[in-house]
Structure 1
Amino acid sequence: MKPNHLFRAVAASFLAMAAPSAAQAPDRGFTIAVIPDTQNYLDYSHQREAGFPIDAREIFLDQMEYIARNARSAGGDIVFATSVGDVWQHGSRSMDAEHAAKGLKAIPNPVFGNYLKPEPRTLTVEMPTARAGYSILAGKLPFSVVPGNHDYDAVWSDSRWPATMKGNDPMRYGMLHYGGLDNFRSVFGSGSSFFKDKPWYVASFNGGADSAQIFEAGGYRFLHIGLEMAPEDDVIQWAQGVLKSHPGLPTIISIHDHLNIAGERKPIPAVDFDAVHKEHNSPEELWRKFIARNDQIFMVLSGHQHGQAHATDSNAFGHDVHQILADYQDRGQILPMIAPGAPKAALGDGWLRLMKFDFSGEVPTVSVSTYSTYFHSSSDRMTSYPALYKEHEKPAASDAAFGAEDRFTLTLSDFRERFAKAAVAAR
C-alpha cells in the first residue's frame, strides 16, 4: 500500500524540525527498533471503509517502511526490530476450549461489552494488515513479534470478578482474560514464511508464540528471546534451554507486559493472567524465576501499560538489567490535524522507539529515543511535544522531566567484562 500523502503533508507543516534518516552505521554502532502496541492502527473500525476519517493502517505501514528503509541492509543502522505485542485489536471467537474445560465462565461487562464480542473482521481486515506490514521487513533484517493480550483468539470478562464501577476500585472494570493463539500463529508462527528456515530464527515454542533470534552487531553476537504474556513454567523451561544452548551471549527479552508506568513489575489489575489461574507467572515471578537468575539477560523490553518507564535493577549476580516500557496507543493528536471536527480517537501517532547502541568507547551506551513516523521527528526535536501529550499522560511532570521519559541514555558499565566471550571478530 502506498503511504498516505495527506498524512505527510500535514505532518511536514507541523514540524518544528525534521529528523534526518538513519545514516550508514559505524562498525561499533547500531540501532534496535522497538515497535510498541499497534492495535489501534490495525483496528477495522479505524479505516475509511468503516467510516473513519483516515486509514489508520497507513500509519502502521509507514512505521514498517521507515524501519525497512533504515535497516543496515539498506544502508542504515537498524539491525533488529522487535514488536512488544498487541499487533491487532480484536479477538475472533468466544472462550477457547482449554479455558472452558477449566471451568471458567464469562459474564457481561458494562464497560467492554462491544470489545468482548467475537469480531470476524479481525480475520479479514486486521490480520491481513499485520501480515502486509511485517512483509515489508521480511528479508531486510531479523525481527521478532510476541503476542499481546489483544492478539489472543478470545477475550471475555471472568465471572469471579464482576465490574464494580466504583471509583478507584481495582476491579471497577472487572477482570478480562484471554485465550488461544491460533490467530497469532497463523501469521507469526514458526512455520510462517517470515521465520521458516531463517538462520537467525534459532528456536521456538508453542508454535512460535515464544521464539529466539540471533544477530551480530557492534562487535558482539546477541541473543533475543520473545516470550508470550505471563508465561507458564513450561515456557520458562524452554527459554532456559535456549540460554543453555547459547551460553554467554548478551540477551534481550521482549514480552508484552513487564513494567507499569511507575517502573514496577506489576500487572494492570483488570488484565492479570496470574490472578485468573496460577499456572501463569506474573512479571515479578518471571523476574525471580528466570530473568534475575540468568546473568546473560541484560535488557527487558515491554509495552501493554499505557505510557513510558524505565528501571535498572541488579540481578542475582549483582549486574544491571535494564527494563524499558514504551506504549503510545493512547495518543490521538493527529486525527484533529488531518480531519478537524472528527471525534477523538486514540491511535498512537506513529511513535516508536529507537535504541542506538554505541560500542566505540570504553563503556558502551544505549541512546534511547522516541520517533514518530507521522511527524518525521524524534520527541526531543519537537518543541510542541510536552504541549501535545503531557497533560494527558503525566500532568504533574515538568516539561523537562516529561521529555526525559522518551529520550535518555543507558550506560552499560558492566557489559564488556560480563560478555567478553561473546565478542566476535571484526568483519
Structure 2
Amino acid sequence: MCTSHEHDQAEAAQAGAGRRGFLRATALLGAAATAGLALPAVAEALPAGAAAWRPDPDSRRFTLAVMPDTQYLFDGPSIDKAPVEASLRYLLEHGRQENIVFLSHLGDLTQNGAEAEFTAIGEAFGLLDRRGVGYSVLAGNHDVRSSTDDQRGATPYLDTFGPDRFRGKSTFGGASPDGYHTYHLFRAAGREWMVLALDWRLSAKGYAWAKDVLARHPKTPVVLTTHELVVEDDGLSAYGQQLWDQLVDGHDQIFLTLNGHYWPAARATRRNAAGHDVHLHLTNYQNRYFGGAAMIRLYRFDLDRNTIDVETVSPWILGRAAKGLNELERQEIELSGDADRFSVDIDFAERFAGFDPVPARAARPVSEMLVAGTVAYWRFEKPVSGSVRDLSGRGNDLAVVTVGGGSLGWSSDHHPDQPSHGSLEFRGFKSPLKGAYLRTVDGAPLNSATFRSGYTIEAFYRLPADWDPSHHAWSGLVSRTGTGGAAGKTGDDPDEPLATLSLSNDREPQWAMRPLNQEGIATNWGQETPLETWWHLAVVNDGRRTTLYVQGCPVVRNPKASAVGITSVGLPWLLGGYAYGGEIDQILYGRLGDVRIVARALPVTSFMTH
C-alpha cells in the first residue's frame, strides 16, 4: 500500500520539478511571437519519431487540461495561432510528467465563425491529432449563429471540428446526429471517465441525446463542458439554470462542469437531486492581455488525497521569458487569484458511490490470518460477554475487566481492509477512571513470551469525533503489564509498563517498551492520526531493530539502536488498557478491531490489510 503511494509522490515531485524547470529555462517549442514580432505562418512540425500520446491509465494522479475562449486570436485579418500552438505544445511536452489524459476547449474558438478562422485553429489542433491526443471542442456563440440551437445544420465549425475529425481516436465515444455534441471516454486512476461536450444551445433533441449517453454509461463519472453555465461566483445564467434543471441536477454522474463565455473566472457549488455537490467552474481570460494568450487551466486529480488542484498558466508567455517580457506579460505569466489557482476537496469514492458504489471487501476466514508464527489472534465479530477466545489456538484467551461500572460495546464498523467485520467499542474515561478492557488470562503463554527472535504486533483502531485528550490521551491499544522496576530495569521511569502501543495526547501512535538488551525504554513514534478514521498499526521487530508502520508505511521516528525482544515478568497483556506503576491508569475511548501477534517479523505484504 505504501510502496505505490511513495512512487506516486516521487512522480509528482518530478512533474513539479519539470514544470518549474520549464518556467526557468523557458525553452518551449514554438514560443515565438508577440506584438511587433513575426509570427510563424504554419505550425512547426514535431520531431520525427516523437512518442505517441500514452497517459498512464492506472496512476491515481492525472491531469485534465482546459482551454477557454480563444476567439480574439482568430478574428478575421488578425489571426495569431502562436499562443494556441504554444499551449498545445506544452501539453505534448509535459504530458508524461503531468499524466495529461485529455484536453477540453470550452467554445468560442473563433470570433466570427468564418472559414478562414476555423482553418487556422484547425491547423493548430493538428498538433494534437498527429500525436493521437484525446481532446474535445464545442461551439460557442461566436462559432455559430448565436440565435440558433444544435439543429442549425452545416457550418464552418462543423466542417472543421465535426465528428469525422475525432473518429478513430481512442477517446472518442460518439456524437449526436446533428454533430454538435460529442462525448469522450478516457481511462485514469484505473477506471473510465467521460467528458460530455455540449453545444452552445441544446434543443429538445440535444437533451434527449445527452440523457441517452448518460443512461448508457451509468457508472461513469462525467465532466460536463459547455460554453455557458456559470455567470459569476455562486450564480448561473438563465440558460445555465435551464441546463442545470434539465440535465445536471438529475444526473448524479455529473460531478464537475466547465464553461467559458463570461468573465471574470468564477466558481459555484450546488447540491444535486441526489444530495451531492456538483462543482461548476467558469474559466475565461479573453478580456485579459493578448486575448487571454491561450491560457490553459490544469485540473490535477489526486485520488489518494481526494483533491483536484487547479492551476492557470500561459505557456506562450512562459516561453517568451528568455527574450524579456513586457509589463503586461509579467502580470499574466501565471494567474494566482482565488478563481484561478485553488483546490477542490472531493472524496471520490463517497461522491461516486451513489451511481458506482465500491463493493465492500468481504470478510476473510480465520485460517487465512494464521500465518506461520502466529501466537495470538483476536477478532470481534459479535458482542463480548465475559471472554474472547484466542483464535490462534495457543490459549491466549482474553477476559473482560470492568472499572467503575464501565462496559464494552460492539459495532459492525471496521477498517475497509480488516479481515473481520466488527469491532469493540471501548468507553474509557480518565477521571474518575471508568470503562472496561481485556486482559490475557492467567497462565497464558503470551504472558511470559520474550520474542527474542522478533515479532509483529498489529491492530486496527478508530477514535470518535468527541475524543478529548484531557480525558482519553495515553490509552493503550495493546500493552504488557509489569514495570521496569519489577524487571530490574531502572533506566527512565521504572513505573512505566514493559511494553505499550498507545495513543498520545496528539493521537500519535507510540510503541514504548524495554528490550531485553537495554535498561531504558525504546520508543517508536508515529504521526497524528485524524479522528473518525480507521487506522492500521504494525510494530515489526526483526530481532535487531523495531519499525512502526501506519497504514503499511514506516514512520520517521524509528530508533536505529539495537532492540532485542520484549522484557517480561510473566504478567498479562492488555487490550484497550494501560497500566502505570502496576495499576490500571487509562482505558481506551474508541473502537478496536482485529489484533494479531506473530513471533517473527512480517513483511508489509503479509500484514492483515493484504
Range class of TM-score, shorter chain: 0.5 to 0.7
The whole-number CA distance in structure 2 between the counterparts of 1:237 and 1:70 is 38
The aligned residue for residue 213 of structure 2 is: 242
- Report the CA distance between 1:58 and its aligned residue: 0.7
The whole-number CA distance in structure 1 between the counterparts of 2:31 and 2:275 is 49
Specify the code of the residue in structure 2 equivalent to 1:3.
Answer: G
CA displacement 1:233-277 (0-9 Å, x = unmatched): 21111011001111111011000000112331115xxxxxxxxxx
The whole-number CA distance in structure 1 between the counterparts of 2:195 and 2:286 is 24
The aligned residue for residue 288 of structure 1 is: 245
- Report the CA distance between 1:325 and its aligned residue: 0.5
Structure 1 residues 6 and 130, CA, compared in 2 at 3 Å: closer, same or farther? closer
Q: Which has the higher strand share?
A: 2
The aligned residue for residue 298 of structure 1 is: 255
The aligned residue for residue 275 of structure 2 is: 318
CA displacement 1:305-351 (0-9 Å, x = unmatched): 1220111111000011110100000112xxxxxxxxxxxxx521232
SS of the residue 1:307 aligns to: coil
Within the candidate set 222, 226, 243, 2:193 is matched to: 222
The yes-or-no answer on 1:151 pairing with 2:93 is: no
The whole-number CA distance in structure 2 between the counterparts of 1:422 and 1:351 is 37
The aligned residue for residue 28 of structure 1 is: 60
The whole-number CA distance in structure 2 between the counterparts of 1:84 and 1:265 is 16
The aligned residue for residue 412 of structure 1 is: 346
Give TM-score, length-normalised by structure 1. Answer: 0.64
CA displacement 1:133-189 (0-9 Å, x = unmatched): 11111243211101001111x468x9xxxxxxxxxxxxxxxxxxx965521111111
Specify the code of the residue in structure 2 equivalent to 1:185.
Answer: L
CA displacement 1:94-135 (0-9 Å, x = unmatched): xxxxxxxxxxxxxxxxxxxxxxxxxxxx323x1111111111
Structure 1 residues 183 and 259, CA, compared in 2 at 3 Å: closer, same or farther? same
- Give RMSD over aligned pairs: 3.1
Higher-RCO chain (CA-CA 8 Å, sequence separation at least 6): 1
The whole-number CA distance in structure 1 between the counterparts of 2:90 and 2:358 is 30
Mapped contact 2:32–2:82 kept (Cα < 8 A) = no
The aligned residue for residue 77 of structure 1 is: 99
Identity of aligned residues (%): 27
- Report the CA distance between 1:385 and its aligned residue: 8.9
SS of the residue 2:292 aligns to: coil
| 1:28-427 equivalent positions in 2, closer than 5 A | 28-47=60-79, 56-72=80-96, 76-91=98-113, 122-124=114-116, 126-138=117-129, 139-152=131-144, 154=145, 181-192=154-165, 195-266=166-237, 282-332=239-289, 346-361=290-305, 364-376=306-318, 388=331, 403-413=337-347, 414-415=350-351, 417-418=353-354, 420-421=356-357
The whole-number CA distance in structure 2 between the counterparts of 1:233 and 1:214 is 24
The whole-number CA distance in structure 2 between the counterparts of 1:386 and 1:31 is 25
- Report the CA distance between 1:421 and its aligned residue: 5.0
The whole-number CA distance in structure 1 between the counterparts of 2:76 and 2:205 is 34
The whole-number CA distance in structure 1 between the counterparts of 2:84 and 2:230 is 24
Mapped contact 2:255–2:279 kept (Cα < 8 A) = yes
Structure 1 residues 386 and 196, CA, compared in 2 at 3 Å: closer, same or farther? closer
Structure 1 residues 4 and 354, CA, compared in 2 at 3 Å: closer, same or farther? closer
Q: Which has the higher helix share?
A: 1
The whole-number CA distance in structure 1 between the counterparts of 2:358 and 2:288 is 39
Mapped contact 2:138–2:180 kept (Cα < 8 A) = yes
- Report the CA distance between 1:283 and its aligned residue: 1.3
SS of the residue 2:167 aligns to: coil
- Report the CA distance between 1:44 and its aligned residue: 3.0
The whole-number CA distance in structure 2 between the counterparts of 1:348 and 1:210 is 25
SS of the residue 2:183 aligns to: strand
Unaligned runs of 5+ in 1: 11-23, 48-55, 92-121, 159-177, 268-281, 333-345, 390-399
Mapped contact 2:253–2:352 kept (Cα < 8 A) = no
The whole-number CA distance in structure 2 between the counterparts of 1:155 and 1:403 is 31
Structure 1 residues 385 and 220, CA, compared in 2 at 3 Å: closer, same or farther? farther
Unaligned runs of 5+ in 2: 1-28, 38-54, 320-324, 360-610
Structure 1 residues 375 and 418, CA, compared in 2 at 3 Å: closer, same or farther? farther
Could you list the runs of 4 or more consecutive aligned residues of structure 1 that deviate by over 6 angstroms after TM superposition?
Answer: 384-387
Specify the code of the residue in structure 2 equivalent to 1:356.
Answer: R
CA displacement 1:200-259 (0-9 Å, x = unmatched): 211211442101110011222101111111311211110110011111110110000001
- Report the CA distance between 1:6 and its aligned residue: 4.9
CA displacement 1:361-404 (0-9 Å, x = unmatched): 3xx21011111112329xxxx9x999947xxxxxxxxxx9x711
SS of the residue 1:137 aligns to: helix
Mapped contact 1:307–1:327 kept (Cα < 8 A) = yes
CA displacement 1:54-76 (0-9 Å, x = unmatched): xx32111111111222224xx54
Specify the code of the residue in structure 1 equivalent to 2:310.
Answer: V
The aligned residue for residue 479 of structure 2 is: none
Pair member with larger Rg: 2
Specify the code of the residue in structure 2 equivalent to 1:150.
Answer: H
Structure 1 residues 3 and 313, CA, compared in 2 at 3 Å: closer, same or farther? same
The aligned residue for residue 20 of structure 1 is: none
The whole-number CA distance in structure 1 between the counterparts of 2:157 and 2:260 is 17
SS of the residue 1:360 aligns to: coil
Specify the code of the residue in structure 2 equivalent to 1:349.
Answer: A
Mapped contact 1:221–1:422 kept (Cα < 8 A) = no
Structure 1 residues 241 and 422, CA, compared in 2 at 3 Å: closer, same or farther? farther
Specify the code of the residue in structure 2 equivalent to 1:145.
Answer: V
The whole-number CA distance in structure 2 between the counterparts of 1:222 and 1:312 is 21
The aligned residue for residue 172 of structure 1 is: none
Mapped contact 1:189–1:207 kept (Cα < 8 A) = no
Structure 1 residues 236 and 32, CA, compared in 2 at 3 Å: closer, same or farther? same
**Number of residue pairs aligned between Structure 1 and Structure 2:** 300
Structure 1 residues 28 and 419, CA, compared in 2 at 3 Å: closer, same or farther? farther
The whole-number CA distance in structure 2 between the counterparts of 1:375 and 1:418 is 43
Specify the code of the residue in structure 2 equivalent to 1:365.
Answer: T
